[in-house]
């Protein structure tokens, strides 16, 4: 039973937006407390919601499965794949980490001096104001740069090198909604909600600017 209770469950807020992943143990607890409902796709492709008792009855009508069920002395209940929170309507607030990967994401794998989009192995990171000139290592002073532009700029400011930034670097305003590798851990039933999240969650700067 321990393995079943550790299975990942996708959590939706009450607006049906993907906001988190929790363990099956936590999901069943929320379900029992009346704070969440199970979301399950029916054969027609529609999504139905179930309270704890409705889900328990539904589970007992289905064929038994040791991998998908949690059993107690008096009943068994299916491990949900997706749950819907009944009161939470926000996205979790989480600051974007200052990492190499996220800098590349912010700059769209594009050299911020010549504007050329390249593979990451052909890009590096540049301090707009050089470090030995007092330039800090932060969101506002680090940009993606191709190797030729980085070499040309050398230990100078863009103005001194007669170079111009495509856009001024800023701290991103993304709202990462789930920190998990869905490819490895996600269930097929998550895809509908993750596709919606991919297209509708704010990701930061407008790509058309």
Instruction: Show the domains of the chain with their CATH numbers.
Output: 2-93+176-200 (no CATH), 95-172 (1.10.30.50)
Q: Angle at the Cα of 5 (from 4 to 7), degrees rounded to 5?
A: 70
62-97 burial by CB neighbour count: b if 16+ within 10 A, else e? eeeeeebbbeeeeeebbbbbbbbbeebeebeeeebe
Give percent of the chain above pLDDT 70. 79
- What's the whole-number average pLDDT of the chain? 81
At residue 179 the predicted structure's pLDDT band, cuts being 50, 70 and 90, is very low
| Residues 198, 195: Cα–Cα separation, whole Å | 5
At residue 150 the predicted structure's pLDDT band, cuts being 50, 70 and 90, is very high
pLDDT tens by residue, 13-41: 888 888 888 888 999 999 999 999 999 98
Alpha-carbon dihedral 81, 85, 91, 93, rounded to 10 degrees? -100
What pTM was computed for the model? 0.52
Those residues with Cβ within 8 angstroms of residue 164's Cβ, 6 or more apart along the chain or in another chain: 113, 158
């Amino acid at each position: 039973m321990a393995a079943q209770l550790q299975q990942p469950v996708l959590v939706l807020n009450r607006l049906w937006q993907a906001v988190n992943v929790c363990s099956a143990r936590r999901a069943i607890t929320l379900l029992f407390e009346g704070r969440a409902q199970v979301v399950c796709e029916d054969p027609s492709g529609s999504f139905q919601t179930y309270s704890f008792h409705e889900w328990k009855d539904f589970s007992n009508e289905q064929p038994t499965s040791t991998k998908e069920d949690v059993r107690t002395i008096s009943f068994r209940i299916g491990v949900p794949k997706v749950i819907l929170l009944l009161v939470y309507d926000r996205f979790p607030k989480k600051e974007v980490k200052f990492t190499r990967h996220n800098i590349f994401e912010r700059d769209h794998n594009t050299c911020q001096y010549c504007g050329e989009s390249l593979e990451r192995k052909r890009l590096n990171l540049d301090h707009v104001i050089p470090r030995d000139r007092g330039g800090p290592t932060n969101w506002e002073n680090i940009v993606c740069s191709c190797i030729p532009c980085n070499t040309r700029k050398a230990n100078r400011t863009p103005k001194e090198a007669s170079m111009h930034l495509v856009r001024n670097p800023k701290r991103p305003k993304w709202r990462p909604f789930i920190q998990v590798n869905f490819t490895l851990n996600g269930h097929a039933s998550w895809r509908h909600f993750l596709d919606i999240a991919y297209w509708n969650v704010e990701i930061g700067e407008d790509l058309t600017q």
